[in-house]
Copies of this chain bind each other. A is one copy, B any other.
Amino acid sequence: MCEANAYLMKDGKEELLMANVDILRPEGNVVYLMDIFGEQRWVEAAIKEMNLVRHRIVLEKA
């Protein structure tokens, strides 16, 4: 499976926000995330960088 872990940059540190992310969709100043189990989150953030081979998504506060 090719899901990734989503981290939120906070005070210069990365905090794990959601593991096994499948779907990710920016919606204004919110990012919608859904993991492979169907759990959903909406986070006030923007996408900073994604590294798919390393299974990493980094978000930062919008």
Contact = CB atoms under 8 A, between A and B. Distances in A.
Interface of A: 1-4, 21-26, 36, 46-53, 55
B22 A36 contact: no
A30 B55 CA distance: 22
A47 B45 CA distance: 14
A20 to B, nearest CB: 9
A24 to B, nearest CB: 5
A3 B53 contact: yes
14 contacts: A2-B52, A2-B53, A2-B55, A3-B52, A22-B51, A23-B49, A23-B52, A24-B49, A24-B50, A24-B52, A25-B49, A25-B50, A26-B46, A36-B53
